[in-house]
């Protein structure tokens, strides 16, 4: 237990430093451009980049939250941040720390290359948007993009 | 004091800011199809040189950086194959559905574009695309997607092997004009003008007869009249030469079904346990067996083609009970187009048997077929034998000629010339679909 919190704290501290999270002034520009506002009806401060940055600065338990798995890692927040804080890098490092621990409950793995390639809330959003498509479509969509391209190659050359 | 508005009045949704526009196909598309541009790729010519990536990247960025291109050359070392992935500008793009900021849109010219003003580079379009065509630039993180260089694709001009070609699709759908004319003429002749009609036609020395009727005749009377058999052979010979073209171009009942099919907007569909193509062979066997048992041509009395020719025309307009058969069987159209022809018609069954000896086939060539981005052939096929699931998976389907009525709607519709008629012994490239 102590071991876990030690390595995790170290990783989170490293993440905060490399993403520049300490520079956040809570201006909210990242929230304004964040596509998550259009994707999720339950978009709230906990899921927003500003909220995640704030929670990370205060509490290491943010790594266990489901809130960090909604982000699409688009980096739009980083582009507009006046302090140069990279919300994407922070969320990515938090996710990597959780994945390194072996937790897979928030991610989808590609059945072909066994790599983690998308967070479940994001993938669920895409599925909901494509719900009018016939079910065969989702067989291809279960693969990660590089495997999808390779499958297309195999089927057509 | 200003009245405080209700919170709901102030909320704006994406629907207000950028409403989704649904394009409806106009009447002009009956003969003149919308000519949407597309890139075609020939894997047999591709050497994997990557020139397309290099030249494309100069359009996206200010330097040559293949990873910033909108086209990707995928190389499979194990199978020694190369392929290029690029946006197909689908007819029904999935990326547009998935984009949370509605940055993607399909223009009137058919090109799917990313509006960089709204794009956040989230990459959900790549997740939704069946070929994962929008590419993420590993350096800048931008999403690059092919926009056909607004009409003059650079990759096409610079490919040293001409593996990439640019096409706008065909100009004219002319087969449907010829076919409807033949159908109307045949209906008019068989139902209103000629006496003896489809079941048995005699003009001097020439006599033609329905093969199913002839079989029932032989079964019920126990004698084989050579002239009867040779008359029936005509239709079978036609089928060997041109597939079930009788069903698609001549049959008057088929004409009625086609007319109904254009009027009825949405088809309900049959439950899957009813949808066996073998049922019509069973009905054929039943017709012959029944004729043998009963001593008269059992099926001919209730045949929709026969009753249509006999009751609705010149001979006698009020053969009461027979009048109900055509509307009753034609109402099956509510479920699926040409339901009668697919599952029940014994004439179609015997022509289907004859077509196993047929010399032509309709192929959908994988090179030109746009597969998941088009799927028009599957939508337009009245017999429902083009597998849309295969197309969505990126495989060009094979068409079973025993079911095909050679209406050639697929050939007429295919904008890229992928659907075509070939002799059975001609090889299609690539050879077989790989599931």
- Of the pLDDT bands very low, low, confident and very high (cuts 50, 70, 90), residue B319 is low
Do A72 and B141 count as a contact with CB atoms less than 8 A apart?
A: no
Give CA–CA dist B87/A24, Å, rounded.
Answer: 38
Distance from CA of B304 to the nearest CA of A (A): 35
Q: How confident is the model at residue A88, as a pLDDT?
A: 93
Output B68 or B36, whichever has higher pLDDT: B68
Closest CA in chain A for residue B77: A150
Give CA–CA dist B187/B257, Å, rounded.
Answer: 12
Q: How confident is the model at residue B189, as a pLDDT?
A: 86
pLDDT at B2 over 60: no
Neighbour-count burial of B8, counting CB atoms closer than 10 A to its CB (0-12 exposed, 13-18 middle, 19+ buried): exposed
Which chain A residues contact residue B18 at CB under 8 A? none
Q: How confident is the model at residue B190, as a pLDDT?
A: 84
Question: Which DSSP string do the residues of B364-428 spell out, in sequence order?
Answer: E-TTT--GGGT-HHHHH-TT--S-HHHHHTT-PPP--TTT-----HHHHH-TTS-EEEEETTSPP
Condensed to tens digits (0 to 9), the pLDDT of residues A37-50 reads 888 988 999 899 99
Q: How confident is the model at residue B9, as a pLDDT?
A: 59
pLDDT at B268 over 80: yes
Average pLDDT, chain B: 86
Question: Which DSSP string do the residues of B86-139 spell out, in sequence order?
Answer: -----SS-HHHHH-TT--EEE-TTS-EEE-TTT-----HHHHH-TT--SEE-TT
Closest CB to A76 among B121, B371, B389: B121
Do B126 and A145 count as a contact with CB atoms less than 8 A apart?
A: yes
pLDDT at B184 over 70: yes
Q: Please give the backbone phi and psi of residue B172, each rounded to the nearest 5 degrees, phi first.
A: -135, 135
Condensed to tens digits (0 to 9), the pLDDT of residues B291-305 reads 888 888 888 888 888
Condensed to tens digits (0 to 9), the pLDDT of residues B372-425 reads 888 899 999 999 999 998 888 888 888 999 999 999 999 999 999 899 999 998
* Cα dihedral B225, B226, B227, B229 in deg (nearest 10): 90
Closest CB to B74 among A76, A140, A153: A153
pLDDT at B213 over 90: no
CB contacts < 8 Å between A and B, how many?
114
Condensed to tens digits (0 to 9), the pLDDT of residues B135-159 reads 999 988 899 999 999 889 999 999 9
ipTM score for this prediction: 0.90
pLDDT at B1 over 70: no
Distance from CA of B253 to the nearest CA of A (A): 32
CB count within 10 Å of CB B6 equals 8
Do A140 and B393 count as a contact with CB atoms less than 8 A apart?
A: yes
- Of the pLDDT bands very low, low, confident and very high (cuts 50, 70, 90), residue B161 is very high
Positions of chain A with pLDDT lower than 50, given as ranges: 1
CB count within 10 Å of CB A42 equals 9
Which chain A residues contact residue B369 at CB under 8 A? none
Q: How confident is the model at residue A81, as a pLDDT?
A: 95
For residues B194-222, average pLDDT: 78
Q: How confident is the model at residue B316, as a pLDDT?
A: 55
Distance from CA of B122 to the nearest CA of A (A): 4
Which chain B residues contact residue A146 at CB under 8 A? 132
Do B122 and A73 count as a contact with CB atoms less than 8 A apart?
A: yes
Beta bridge partners of residue B39, listed in sequence order: B166
Which chain A residues contact residue B72 at CB under 8 A? 149
- Of the pLDDT bands very low, low, confident and very high (cuts 50, 70, 90), residue B310 is confident
What is this structure's pTM? 0.84
Give CA–CA dist A130/B95, Å, rounded.
Answer: 9
Which chain B residues contact residue A110 at CB under 8 A? none
Distance from CA of A40 to the nearest CA of B (A): 9
Do B121 and A39 count as a contact with CB atoms less than 8 A apart?
A: no
């Amino acid at each position: 237990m102590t071991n876990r919190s030690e390595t995790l704290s170290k990783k989170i501290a490293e993440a905060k430093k490399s993403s520049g999270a300490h520079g956040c002034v809570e201006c909210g520009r990242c929230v304004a451009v964040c596509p998550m506002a259009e994707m999720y009806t339950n978009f709230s401060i906990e899921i927003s980049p500003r909220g995640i940055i704030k929670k990370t600065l205060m509490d290491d338990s943010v790594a266990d939250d489901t809130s960090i798995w909604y982000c699409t890692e688009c980096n739009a927040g980083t582009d507009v941040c006046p302090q140069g804080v990279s919300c994407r890098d922070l969320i990515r490092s938090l996710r990597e720390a959780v994945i390194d621990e072996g937790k897979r409950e928030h991610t989808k793995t590609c059945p072909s290359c066994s790599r983690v390639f998308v967070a479940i809330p994001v993938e669920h959003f895409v599925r909901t948007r494509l719900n009018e498509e016939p079910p065969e479509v989702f067989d291809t969509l279960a693969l990660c993009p590089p495997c999808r391209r390779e499958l297309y190659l195999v089927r057509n050359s | 004091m200003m009245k405080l508005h209700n919170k709901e009045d102030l909320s704006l949704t994406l629907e207000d800011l950028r409403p989704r526009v649904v394009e409806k196909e106009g009447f002009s598309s009956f003969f003149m199809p919308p000519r949407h541009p597309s890139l075609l790729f020939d894997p047999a010519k591709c050497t994997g040189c990557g020139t397309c990536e290099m030249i494309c990247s100069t359009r996206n960025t200010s330097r040559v950086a293949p990873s910033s291109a909108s086209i990707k050359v995928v190389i499979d070392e194990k199978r020694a194959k190369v392929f290029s992935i690029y946006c197909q500008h689908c007819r029904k793009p999935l990326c547009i559905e998935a984009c949370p900021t509605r940055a993607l849109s399909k223009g009137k010219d058919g090109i799917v574009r990313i509006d960089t003003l709204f794009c956040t580079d989230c990459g959900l379009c790549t997740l939704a695309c069946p070929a994962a065509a929008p590419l993420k630039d590993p350096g800048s993180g931008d999403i690059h997607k092919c926009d056909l260089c607004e009409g003059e694709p650079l990759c096409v001009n610079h490919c040293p092997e001409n593996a990439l070609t640019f096409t706008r699709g065909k100009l004219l759908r002319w087969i449907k004009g010829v076919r409807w004319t033949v159908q109307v003429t045949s209906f008019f002749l068989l139902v209103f003008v000629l006496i003896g009609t489809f079941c048995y036609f005699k003009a001097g020395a020439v006599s033609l007869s329905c093969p199913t009727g002839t079989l029932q005749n032989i079964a019920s009377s126990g004698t084989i009249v050579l002239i009867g058999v040779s008359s029936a052979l005509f239709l079978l010979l036609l089928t060997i030469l041109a597939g079930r073209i009788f069903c698609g171009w001549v049959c008057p009942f088929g004409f009625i079904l086609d007319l109904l099919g254009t009027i009825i907007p949405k088809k309900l569909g049959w439950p899957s346990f009813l949808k066996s193509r073998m049922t019509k062979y069973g009905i054929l066997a039943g017709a012959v067996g029944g004729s043998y048992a009963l001593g008269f041509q059992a099926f001919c009395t209730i045949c929709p083609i026969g009753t249509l020719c006999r009751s609705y025309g010149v001979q006698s307009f009020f053969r009461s009970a027979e009048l109900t058969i055509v509307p009753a069987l034609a109402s099956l159209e509510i479920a699926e187009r040409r339901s009668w022809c697919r599952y029940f018609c014994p004439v179609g069954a015997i022509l289907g048997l004859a077509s196993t000896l047929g010399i032509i086939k309709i192929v959908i060539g994988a090179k030109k077929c746009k597969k998941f981005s088009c799927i028009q052939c599957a939508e337009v096929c009245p017999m429902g034998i083009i597998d849309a699931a295969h197309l969505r998976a990126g495989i060009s389907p094979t068409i079973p000629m025993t079911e095909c009525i050679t209406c050639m709607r697929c050939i007429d519709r295919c904008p890229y010339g992928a659907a075509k008629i070939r002799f059975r012994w001609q090889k299609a490239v690539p050879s077989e679909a790989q599931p």
